[in-house]
Structure 1
């Protein structure tokens, strides 16, 4: 082993962490995670058997198949939120509806744990909005503060309107010129007001 191995390992971990962060940032990650985790207790509790000494307690209901279907659908909707972001609205609404149905069908929604997780996941999916494209975000930033924005401000101060072909900024009636005290609209017309 060389002395560089831990550094390479740290770089690999950092690179993987940054890739995961980038992947997570382009999708409703938390919505999918909450929805997926909400489906687990809803599907699990009706089939679980708890042993207390020699006594076994079964929490099975008559609608055990319905609980399994709701749980599997919630897990599927959580994965859909991760890998098909275009369907996030449908997945969010379906998650909320399935969470509400699980209150009646599946042991009070997986003892309220699965219900609350699925409800929060559905709400997060409905509220998530994708990022703006990079070109649009950079273009907006340049016009407000970058070098192009500085040129536009200089041009506006000189009365040229910034870049070529841009009109003068709108003037308010009664604006006074900076140097000679004339009204701007009168100076544009060639009149001087004392």
Structure 2
């Protein structure tokens, strides 16, 4: 029987993202953020391609990204509510880590597996931040799927895209628990 890490298992079974709008100051400084990024980078990575990288967006850069999101929303012809929503996560954000998916040519590792790895980095970073006592939330939104925002706002290359924006800060309000999946209803056991 393997040795149980009850504390880690309990954390994973009870973890809860914190709404980004409830994350305040202080935020982790560079020294506090490095172990979280290190933990996230230990994610499964078939072929050791490292098909991801990080962009840390600090508070001063948030205002610029809010302006880029608004300008892109106008250029795309989005309605005022969509534009405001795209802008808001940067207007109210204090710190976010953009997990950038970096597709790398490989004869052995399909592009989809690289996407899975980048998504796993997002969850690993989210969990690392929560385990370290910070509040954290994984967001996306229309701006994170807009090529113009990716290039103008973050300088991403054509083979890169945003896997997620992980907002990290101090929790100011605990969210209520929400319904969780019925494990029996979503699990199939194959015995032969």
Q: TM-score range by the shorter chain?
A: under 0.3
Larger Rg belongs to? 1
Structure of higher RCO (CA pairs closer than 8 Å, 6+ residues apart): 2
- The normalised TM-score by structure 1 is 0.26
- The normalised TM-score by structure 2 is 0.26
- Relative to total residues, which structure has the larger strand share, 1 or 2? 2
